[in-house]
Structure 1
């Protein structure tokens, strides 16, 4: 398991960090884990998480991958964008309280302009979910965050 605090790997804060741990990563992939706990921002009344939250768990795992890569290279963690999700499939409607979920993200494409594609899988007890995430981390993020005044 990686000892770096998630708050130093993700451009999220507080209860918006949904994953619990980075288990392992390398140049091409990341493995993360989360235990479903009641009382979070997206929990249903019974404490479970709707299956669609799996997309966010996968996206945060990809963001943690980028954060691990940046940290390993001595660079700052940068903001990135989830552009879209393709082929999200899940065999359940929700993830029950107490379920331990493991997320695996595998980089299948990344170019020098910041575009990337990750094949992601989420598994747990009786749970199988998968999706392809299209992500973008622009080389000069500050240019995207500046509000331009129309001329």
Structure 2
């Protein structure tokens, strides 16, 4: 099995450039992935040079799920495919904003997953920061075209 440190996070996501928000995968197991991120104030998620809204953690969670699915694909010798966040449930946060420069841990744990749909229990945590949600995600089959394709 390939170690998670062997993969650049950008190789696991269908994102490019500044839209790759995670810094690295810390651990990967059958039903779990942990990633690390340093909050950036580049304005991509409606933040400024001091903070970004706490709801940006939903994108951090979604990218961690994308990295989890990306690692599954890499291990199976398959290409990285596009996925979609369908929605979130039970979003809870003890903060309204995330300070730029703070380091966060992002963890996702698979509740259920099939070829196209998944539900994950997700957490973002840092110094006095606790955000959690359950995310529902969708990935089209590899033989299924997307609109306008």
TM-score normalised by structure 2 residue count? 0.90
What CA distance in whole angstroms lies between the structure 1 residues aligned with 2:86 and 2:40? 28
- Give 2:69's aligned residue: 66
What displacement does 1:59 show?
Answer: 0.2
Runs of 5+ consecutive residues of structure 2 not aligned to the other structure:
none
Tell me which stretches of 4 or more aligned residues in structure 1 moved more than 3 Å. Answer: none
Alignment check: 8 A CA contact 2:42 2:49 kept:
no
CA distance in 1, matches of 2:123, 2:25: 15
How many residue pairs get aligned? The number is: 146
Partner SS for 2:64: helix
Counterpart Cα distance in 2 of 1:123 and 1:146:
36
Residues 1:95 and 2:98 are matched in the alignment: yes
Structure 1 unmatched ranges of 5 or more: none
2:122 partner SS: strand
Give the counterpart of 1:21 among 24, 28, 42: 24
Q: How big is the alpha-carbon RMSD for the aligned residues of Structure 1 and Structure 2? A: 1.6
Q: Corresponding residue for 1:115?
A: 117
**Structure whose alpha-carbon radius of gyration is higher:** 1
Cα distance, 1:44 vs structure 2: 2.5
Partner residue of 1:32?
35
- Tell me, in whole angstroms, the C-alpha distance in 1 between the residues paired with 2:6 and 2:51: 27
CA drift at 1:111: 2.2
Match of 1:4 in 2: 7
- Local SS of the residue matching 1:143: coil
- Offset at residue 6 of structure 1 (A): 1.5
Q: Could you say which residue in structure 1 is the equivalent of 2:135?
A: 133
TM-score by length of 1: 0.89
